[in-house]
């Protein structure tokens, strides 16, 4: 039998966690998973959806803070996110269906730790950290440190993710997330890739990052070496990105795709993500989610 309560304050939530409760945000992983028989519901569940400390998006001079309870529906239309942290908006817009996006949260997506999660690759390329809090303190963990294996994070059971933080964007920066999908809604990424690009005034890349979805036990950061740095985004550099991404991936075969296909297409996605991020860095507006403009995915 599961005991369910609703936290009225952050302290109450943290105390409940310390006492062994599991937090539930939107419940779209936790509850749906238990109904599907993945894992039974925990004995005690505490809802964290009413905590102001976990709400809202705020941009200061040097940092963006997204509360853990911010939903995908909020992320996909928030002007700050859409303009400056586009990859997150691209990803949020692809999650599930309108109802999944209305209740599913960024914190839940991150803490669920699925290697196919859509906001993961964007958070990595944007240099995000998770802010984890307990009754006794607070720490920042990078995404790479946080995700350990499918469904497993390095957070302790008493740690509540209160926010995702990331540095403000330098000028001439753009980011994008693309996902290979068979259907447009209610879909898990076959593979996906996020890219962040910063350009100098001459259009040369000064900083570039790529991360990959659904091709390893966790979201995978790609070491681009000198494939892009100091270079223009052109056929040659994009081909190099695709090759590195494919080589970095360690995908598995399942019902949806073979490892061979995933390895190939993640390269294609990485190239397209970099291309889109570069266009955005150059000042071009590409509608959210970028998938549709690039003609990836479903018909309409």
Does 1 bind another protein (CB under 8 A)? Our answer is no
Does 35 bind another protein (CB under 8 A)? Our answer is no
Residue 104 interaction partner, one of ligand FAD, another protein, none, beta carbon < 5-8 Å per kind: ligand FAD
Is 120:109 a contact under the CB 8 Å cutoff? yes
Geometric angle at alpha carbon 227, from 148 and 116, rounded to 5°: 30
Candidates 21, 24, 216, 244: give the one binding ligand FAD (CB under 6 A): 24
Number of residues near ligand FAD (by CB under 6 A): 30
Q: Where are the beta strands (DSSP E) in the chain?
A: 3-6, 22-24, 44-47, 57-59, 63-67, 129-133, 138-142, 147-149, 152-153, 160-167, 173-180, 191-199, 205-213, 220-222
Q: Rounded to an integer, what distance in angstroms lies between the CA atom of residue 213 and that of residue 276?
A: 17
Is 81:58 a contact under the CB 8 Å cutoff? no
Does 104 bind ligand FAD (CB under 6 A)? Our answer is yes
Does 274 bind another protein (CB under 8 A)? Our answer is no
Stretch that binds another protein, among 23-31, 63-71, 137-145, 180-188 (CB under 8 A): 180-188
Does 112 bind ligand FAD (CB under 6 A)? Our answer is yes
Does 184 bind another protein (CB under 8 A)? Our answer is yes
- Residue 146 or 269 having the CB closest to another protein: 269
Strand-pair partners of 207:
198
Does 121 bind ligand FAD (CB under 6 A)? Our answer is no
Does 215 bind ligand FAD (CB under 6 A)? Our answer is no
- Positions in 31-50 near ligand FAD (CB under 6 A): 32, 48
Candidates 1, 62, 171, 183: give the one binding another protein (CB under 8 A): 183
Candidates 185, 204, 236, 239: give the one binding another protein (CB under 8 A): 185
Residue 209 burial (CB < 10 Å; 0-12/13-18/19+)?
buried
Q: Where are the alpha helices (DSSP H) in 70-203?
A: 72-77, 79-84, 86-94, 98-103, 106-112, 120-125, 143-146
Strands 57-59 and 63-67: antiparallel
Does 295 bind another protein (CB under 8 A)? Our answer is yes
- Residue 153 or 265 having the CB closest to another protein: 265
CB of 145 to another protein, least distance (A): 30
Is 141:154 a contact under the CB 8 Å cutoff? yes
- Positions in 166-195 near ligand FAD (CB under 6 A): 186-187
CB of 126 to ligand FAD, least distance (A): 16
Residue 24 interaction partner, one of ligand FAD, another protein, none, beta carbon < 5-8 Å per kind: ligand FAD
Handedness of CA 38, 42, 47, 53 (dihedral sign): negative
Residue 88 interaction partner, one of another protein, ligand FAD, none, beta carbon < 5-8 Å per kind: none
Strands 173-180 and 160-167: unpaired
Handedness of CA 283, 291, 125, 141 (dihedral sign): positive
Handedness of CA 268, 177, 118, 122 (dihedral sign): positive
Q: Which residues of the chain form contacts with another protein (CB under 8 A)?
A: 36, 180, 182-186, 188, 190, 255, 257-258, 261, 264-265, 268, 295-300
Q: Which residues of the chain form contacts with ligand FAD (CB under 6 A)?
A: 22-30, 32, 48, 68, 94-96, 100, 103-105, 107-109, 111-112, 117-118, 160-161, 186-187
């Amino acid at each position: 039998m599961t005991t369910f309560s609703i936290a009225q304050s952050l302290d109450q939530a943290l105390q409940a966690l310390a006492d062994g409760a599991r937090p539930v945000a939107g419940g779209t992983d936790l509850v749906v998973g238990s109904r599907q028989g993945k894992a039974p519901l925990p004995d005690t569940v505490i809802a964290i959806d009413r905590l102001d400390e976990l709400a809202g998006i705020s941009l200061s001079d040097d940092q963006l803070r997204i509360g853990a309870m911010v939903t995908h529906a909020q992320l996909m239309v928030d002007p700050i996110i859409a303009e400056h942290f586009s990859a997150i908006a691209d990803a949020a817009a692809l999650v599930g269906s309108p109802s999944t996006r209305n209740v599913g949260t960024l914190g839940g997506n991150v803490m669920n730790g699925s290697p196919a999660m859509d906001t993961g690759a964007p958070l990595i390329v944007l240099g995000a950290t998770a802010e984890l809090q307990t009754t006794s303190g607070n720490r920042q963990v990078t995404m790479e440190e946080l995700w350990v294996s499918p469904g497993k994070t390095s957070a302790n059971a008493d740690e509540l993710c209160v926010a995702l933080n990331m540095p403000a964007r330098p000028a001439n920066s753009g980011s994008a997330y693309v996902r290979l999908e068979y259907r447009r809604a209610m879909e898990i990424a076959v593979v996906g890739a996020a890219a962040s690009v910063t350009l100098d005034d001459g259009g040369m890349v000064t900083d570039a990052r790529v991360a990959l979805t659904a091709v390893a036990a966790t979201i995978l950061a790609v070491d681009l070496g000198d494939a892009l740095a100091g270079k223009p985004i052109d056929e040659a550099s994009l081909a190099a990105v695709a090759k590195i991404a494919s080589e970095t991936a360690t995908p598995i075969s399942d019902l949806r795709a073979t490892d061979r296909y995933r390895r190939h297409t993640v390269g294609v996605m990485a190239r397209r993500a970099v291309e889109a991020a570069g266009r955005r860095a150059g000042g071009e507006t590409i509608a959210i989610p970028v998938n549709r403009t690039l003609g990836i995915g479903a018909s309409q």
